[in-house]
């Protein structure tokens, strides 16, 4: 329609589910709404101190409840827990000198960035959405045929 703003024509976008059913889903071309949950290693890394490990368990529970934790978030979450542990150590320190306050301010900037990436603040949660993992489809007849040729 000429003169109608917002209606540019063309085909409507396919949903993630439609792309998966068609076998055309590509994670590198998906938007944040298309993030798929991946069940992966949820054990905290061994190098975390006790406070960081406790933070890991607490934060992981929140991320899983929001359905936004994936295997690729493992290292980001580890860094977040390390920085948060250090922030708490500085905060609890008896001496709140200028150096400690500068350290806390620097950690706070890094923590905010990681919180955004993990969806741990309200603004970031509106951008990070996840869909449930989909069952894997059996291979198509063509793929089975091609695999027989390779054997």
Choose among 118, 53, 124, 119: nearest CA to 82: 53
Q: b/e for 23-52, b at 16 or more Cβ within 10 A? A: eebeeeeeeeebbebeeeeeebeeebeebb
Residue 78 belongs to a domain: yes
Residue 3 belongs to a domain: no
The pTM score is 0.54
Structural domain total, the chain: 1
Range of 85's domain? 50-134
Residue 142 belongs to a domain: no
Residue 55 belongs to a domain: yes
Per-residue pLDDT of the chain (151 residues; tens, 9 = 90+): 455 555 556 677 776 666 766 777 777 776 655 454 545 678 888 999 999 999 999 998 888 777 777 777 888 899 999 999 998 888 887 677 788 888 888 998 888 888 888 877 766 666 655 555 556 667 777 777 777 765 5
């Amino acid at each position: 329609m000429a003169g109608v703003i917002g209606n540019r024509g063309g085909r409507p976008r396919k949903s993630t589910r439609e792309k998966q059913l068609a076998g055309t889903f590509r994670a590198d071309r998906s938007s944040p709404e298309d993030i798929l949950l991946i069940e992966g290693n949820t054990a905290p890394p061994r190098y975390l101190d006790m406070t960081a490990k406790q933070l890991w368990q607490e934060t992981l529970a929140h991320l899983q409840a929001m359905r936004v934790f994936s295997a690729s978030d493992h290292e980001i979450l580890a860094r977040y827990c390390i920085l948060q542990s250090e922030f708490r150590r500085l905060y609890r320190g008896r001496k709140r000198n200028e150096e400690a306050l500068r350290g806390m301010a620097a950690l706070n900037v890094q923590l905010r960035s990681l919180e955004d990436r993990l969806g741990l603040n309200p603004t970031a949660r509106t951008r990070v959405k996840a869909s449930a993992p989909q069952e894997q489809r059996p291979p198509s007849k063509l793929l089975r045929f091609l695999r027989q040729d390779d054997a």
